[in-house]
Amino acid sequence: MSTVDAAPAVPPEAAAAQLVFQLATGHIMASALRSALIFGIPDRLVDGPRPVADLAREAGANEDALYRVLRALVSVGIFEEPSPRTFALTLPSRMLMSGPGTLHGLVRWICDGAPMRAHAEMEYSVRTGKPAAEKVFGMAVFEYFAAHPELSEIFNNGMTSFSAAIIPTVLEAYDFSGITTLVDVAGGHGQVLTSILEKNPEMRGVLVDLDHVIAGARPKIAALGLADRCNAVAGDFFKDVPAGDAYVLKHIIHDWDDERAGAILKNIRARLAGQPNGRVILIESVIQQGPGPDLGKVVDLEMLVLPGGRERTADEFAALFARSGFALTRIVPTKSAVSVIEAKLA
């Protein structure tokens, strides 16, 4: 029987190298995570630990290859291996099961091959300041979505997944009552708007997005029994927005540079003219000052590479609002990674 000597203390230089390698190989772990979702591994473990041979046979995967993927994911806490070649869920992998309120759709999008291809060309964005997606796809990323319905569905499902995960924290932190008609600008499949309407039965809503997105939203609104209070319309927010007395935008302003973000806000301001209590409500990350860990700083690079937008600090939000005819009134943190950023007519 062999024994294994205790590992020696790790010197600072080795720890630093380990950090570098962890960052440099991040795309490999993202690919492994994507594979686990494509083969439905979290869902297949819902009833308890299972041998990898069973998982591979059921999922149509190569047993050895699947084992190596799951072994790697165990090493970072996504799954656990309670006995040799048998795998089980952990809290992180439970969050990756399919269904409402999980992170499955969002992670499936983040790890998809299309955004990964764009991130591989980040050098282009750093050199030019332009989104690498335009170099990779030959067109703006949202135009590419419209031309590729399968990818568009992955993206919209990802945004719905994210919205479902964070909207309870938004509703806990911010009071939407008193709004007569709430317009959700570029609201995807309506997860944010329908959640707000369900909590505020006196409110009416208008969901506006592109044609191909609205087509996927209408059945979801009807299934929730909200078709009589929620109108879904196709539109271009760079040209106009529907009438309302308040406007909510979740992770929309961050898609755009200041000029184009300002154009959206000015169209909203034109609709709010004469309504002293009108307001615009952004659900976004707010970049924190200082060197500490900040998910917003990571998402900011996604905005750089894909649509060409940016995350913003509190001061940058205030300046953007001021240029668009609004005054920042408050920023309300939530228990999630986003804040509610409110502005009223200046």
For the record, the structure tokens of 238 come out as 């760079």
- The whole-angstrom distance between residue 302's C-alpha and the CA centroid of its chain comes to 10
Torsions phi, psi for 290 (to 5 deg): 100, 175
In angstroms, what CA-CA distances link 45 with 58, 82, 98, 174?
12, 13, 12, 37
**Cβ atoms 83, 49 nearer than 8 A:** yes
- Burial (CB < 10 A; 0-12, 13-18, 19+), residue 21, is exposed
**Residue (of 84, 19, 73) closest to 51 by Cα position:** 84
DSSP letters along 256-314, please?
S-HHHHHHHHHHHHHHHTT-TT-EEEEEE-EEPSSSS--HHHHHHHHHHHTTS---EEH
The partner residues of 232 in beta bridges, in order of sequence, read 207
Q: Which residues contact 118 (CB under 8 A, 6 or more apart)?
A: 131, 132, 133, 136, 137, 141, 305, 306
Catalytic residues: 254
Quote the CA–CA distance of 256 and 141 in Å, as a whole number: 12
Element (H, E) at 239: none
